[in-house]
Amino acid sequence: MNILVVDDERVQIESVKRGLKSKGHKVLEALSAEEALKYLNNGTKVDLILTDYSMPKMNGLELLKKIRKVHGSLPVIMMTAYAEKNLVIEALRNRCDSFMEKPFTVDQLIREIESARMRMIQNTDSDQLSELIPEFLHQINNPLMSILGSAELAMLALDSEEAVKKFINDIIEATKKIRMINKQLLTLGQTTDDKIEKVNMIGLLDECLNMFRGLLALKGVSVEKDFGGHELCLFGDKFALEQLFKNLILNAIDSMDGRHEKLLKVRAAANKNTSSVSIYIEDAGCGIPSESIDKIFTPYFTRKEGGTGLGLTIVKRIVEKHRGVIRVCSQVGKGTTLKVSFPGNCGS
Ligand SMILES: Nc1ncnc2c1ncn2[C@@H]1O[C@H](COP(=O)(O)OP(=O)(O)OP(=O)(O)O)[C@@H](O)[C@H]1O
Ligand SMILES: [Mg+2]
């Protein structure tokens, strides 16, 4: 995470910084609240603020109030010499995420940061879900109209078994489409705090591939795995991570339909310097035309008959929920690689 540490005492910043850096976080420093606001105003990426309460000119509480006016959900942890009751109440009213009473250990700080991060993941989830609802209603309107139209036409064609069959078939197809959109959207809202756990990424990738064993065999896709022989673990929502990789694997399988060479490569690697974990899903499929690359994460964008176009929207949101990044590299006629990187390998 990019953590902005705000404290008027440089020694304090330095000691916190050492602890955070040792856990793979990136630290930005501000010696005053005013300096911290400058970072936020110039658009610097900040994932969490760790601020001292007692600072000259503007204290931590005043800083928190200013932050809340613009950044409603940015996690803020306040460091105090003593957590006085009135201060705590006022800070909580302004949605301060947590307090650290000085002196504290690096482990205590990391624990607080982790739980603030998880709370943020949950909030983002429900915010994003409600954002999708108007679009969702719009999208199910087409299949709904088609169901209504086909049902009315079937009523008019009751004497022709053939025609009725066709209309019923159209109704089934349209209903399936709504069911798929529903299913995809439901997976977005399923993160809860108690689902956050230590996830063994290699085990998870193996489970996903096993789930598709039948489909892979049926489609004639061979699989190559390269997991580097190290333990790769993340703190995250196992169910959501599973949805993420299932969507990527399914897209890869789809992309190789009708191709001569059908090879799916799944690679996982740890980067010791950044203490991050990267997973690559690589196919030898049709590739993505350059004019579509920018659109593939847009809700409901699909180039497949029967596709919802929500797969990659969900993938991107799950990646972001885990503070990760996703990159696409594709060549038409050659194949596509989706690279997903997450911070914080907690494997040994
Ligand atoms: N590995 C891939 N190779 C080629 N094209 C891809 C690949 N992954 C995604 N795409 C393109 O991006 C589009 C959007 O993908 P997304 O997963 O969001 O929806 P979908 O696969 O069309 O529908 P659904 O996920 O509901 O089946 C796809 O229709 C496809 O054109
Ligand atoms: Mg898909």
160 and 277 fall within a common domain? yes
Widest pairwise Cα distance in the chain: 87
CATH number of the domain encompassing residue 56? 3.40.50.2300
170 and 82 fall within a common domain? no
Residue 82's pLDDT is: 73
Whether the pTM exceeds 0.85: the reply is no
Give Cα 118 distance to the centre of its chain: 12
Residue 315 Cα to ligand 2 midpoint, Å, equals 9
Q: At what angle do helices 60-70 and 33-41 cross, to 10 degrees?
A: 10
Find the domain containing 95 and state its range: 2-104
Q: At what angle do helices 161-188 and 311-321 cross, to 10 degrees?
A: 10
- Which atom, in ligand 1's list, is nearest to the CA of 308? 26
90 and 157 fall within a common domain? no
Ligand 1 pocket: which of 136, 259, 302, 328 to mutate (most atoms within 8 A of CB): 302
User: Which residue(s) pair with 26 in the sheet?
Assistant: 2
Judge whether 254 lies within some domain. yes
CA triple 296-302-308, angle to 5 deg: 115
DSSP state of 23: T
> Is 78 within 8 Å of 97 (Cβ atoms)?
no
Phi-psi map region of 83: left, alpha, beta (phi>0 left; psi -120 to 50 alpha): beta
165 and 293 fall within a common domain? yes
Strands (E), the chain: 2-6, 26-30, 48-52, 76-80, 98-101, 196-200, 222-226, 233-237, 263-271, 276-283, 325-331, 335-343
Residue 94's pLDDT is: 79
DSSP state of 232: -
Ligand 1 pocket: which of 178, 245, 251 to mutate (most atoms within 8 A of CB): 251
135 and 192 fall within a common domain? yes
Residue 319 Cα to ligand 1 midpoint, Å, equals 16
- Which atom, in ligand 1's list, is nearest to the CA of 313? 18
Judge whether 111 lies within some domain. no
Residue 18 Cα to ligand 2 midpoint, Å, equals 42
Judge whether 110 lies within some domain. no
Residues 6+ apart with CB under 8 A from 55: 6, 7, 8, 32, 33, 63
Residue 336's pLDDT is: 98
Residue 311's pLDDT is: 87
Residue 83's pLDDT is: 66
Residue 187's pLDDT is: 65
Residue pointed to by tokens 């603030």? 116
Give pLDDT tens digits for 223-252: 999 998 888 998 888 878 888 998 999 999
37 and 176 fall within a common domain? no
Q: Report how far apart, in Å, the C-alpha atoms of 129 and of each of 26, 116, 275, 344 are.
A: 29, 20, 30, 26
Cα–Cα distance, 118 to 314 (Å, whole number):
18
CATH number of the domain encompassing residue 163? 3.30.565.10
Question: What residues in the chain have per-residue pLDDT under 70?
Answer: 83, 121-132, 134-135, 138-139, 184, 186-195, 347-348
**Helix-then-strand count for the chain, H and E:** 11, 12
97 and 136 fall within a common domain? no
Q: Residue 252, CB half-sphere, CA atoms under 13 Å: how many?
A: 32
Q: How many independent structural domains does the chain possess?
A: 2
